[in-house]
Amino acid sequence: MTDTIVDNPRTVLDNVPTGLWIDGESVPASSGETFTVYDPATEEPLTSVADAGVDDARRALDKAAAVADDWAATPARERGEILRRAFELLTDRADDIAMLMTLELGRALPDSQAETKYGTEFLRWFAEEAVRIGGRFATAPAGNGRILVSHAPVGPSLAITPWNFPLAMGTRKIGPALAAGNVMLVKPAHETPLTMLALAAVFAEAGLPAGVLSVLPTSNAGDVSSAIITDDRIRKISFTGSTPVGRNLMAQAAERVQRTSMELGGNAPFLVFDDADIDAAVEGAYLAKMRNGGEACTAANRFLVQSGVAEEFTAKLTEKMAAVRLGAGYDEGVTLGPLVSAKQRDKVAEMVDGAIADGARVRLGGKVPEGKGYFYPATVLDRVDAYAPVTRDEIFGPVAVISTFESEADAIKAANSTEYGLASYFYSRDLERCMRVAEGLDSGMVGVNRGVISDPAAPFGGVKQSGIGREGGSEGIDEYLSVKYIALT
């Protein structure tokens, strides 16, 4: 039996609120209903959480609207200090937050520890950005007046977060919203609501006024989200998730001309040219593929390798992925935990089986292990056509699919042959090629000789069907501000 890192990882659940977070406190759903959160490693219940309904959503919005003007009028320095205190509290409790994410998401604890560090940094970044909201003053070109441009909070906002990064996808939205002076309602994914509820309690401890932040876990996402979106008081919607759901939310938002930020699906190519440092490329490929067990929208989904170095790259990546240790994420030494659900595991297995049927060669893994838990092993497939069905959709699992190419033009064509455009990666030691390829890849973010590109100080977002808007960086707070032009004589 593998040793656990602590005697009982579930002790971190003792201090997590399990009610809805409305008006600064944990409260039951008006219906009294709850839903169960499961441990993906054992398929056993972790705890039950209040199940928000439409009435709860309206109650949370009422409370938020009642304090919206006061929060908008709160000095920027004070808003920033609250974010800073929340950052410090989360930093002090980093071990517990990481274990909590591992329990509800399943992934290996080292990945949760990395997310804790990454996710908390958004609060520190936007604490600093709160006091840098500016404007401009200029003379009208005709000389007949002055132009004053100022920024104001966009208004009450709704954030809908995914299950794969329970902390960071929250802080990346909440941080700029609060820094800009907006109240916010958050609907976390029903698979992983606990981290967001813990975060709400941290904000309260940091001094955030009641009503400014609400958290509404629910098993009925459609009705609860619609009840909020169709209310004229909501002025901004931020969503991270699938492209089909994003399209539907944008259609709803269009009815009231609400501002939207959409971080949607990805299909990231990872290109390796024959002049690359292969060992560095393998290390970067491993990080780009296996971060979060492959359950990331920025995960490398397609490996396109120039034919002259394809076997060397594939052999070395296979060796590295073979060293992965599969098991419950909270067990000692585990580097790959289960996927979040049976549905997700079965989807990955179906995509791999389809690729094998189409002629792919299995270099590693490729079969669902027996026993409890939603496990899928680290898998490497090569001899895959660059335009095969398995390359069309996000795998969202620990599966590396390798194709080959001959020329730079062929590589860019294959990389761009998707409706998505979130992230791309490539490795080359030729500076001119680096510039050509970076400019030629049709995606919102490009990693050049890097396998991890996310940074709180950089704008995160995509093009094409991967969404609109940016999160993080100095651009992130702009998504939560409206522009006002004042004409002066």
Catalytic residues: 263
Q: Is the dihedral of CA 296, 298, 301, 306 positive or negative?
A: negative
Q: Are strands 481-488 and 146-153 parallel, antiparallel or unpaired?
A: antiparallel
Query: What does the alpha-carbon distance between residue 400 and residue 416 come to, in Å, rounded to a whole number?
Result: 18
Give the C-alpha separation, 29 to 201, whole Å: 17
Write out the two tokens for 163. 């299950």
Rounded Cα gap, residues 52 and 56, in angstroms: 6
Q: What are phi and psi of 347, to 5 degrees?
A: -65, -45
In the 8-state DSSP scheme, what is residue 457?
T
How long is the chain? 489
Which residues, other chains included, contact 475 with Cβ-Cβ below 8 Å and sequence gap of 6+? 459
DSSP 45-64: EEEEEE---HHHHHHHHHHH
Instruction: Please name the helix (run of DSSP H) or strand (run of DSSP E) that holds residue 487, with its range, or none.
Output: strand 481-488
In a 3-state reduction of DSSP, which class is residue 426? strand
- C-alpha 120/C-alpha 99 separation (Å) is 15
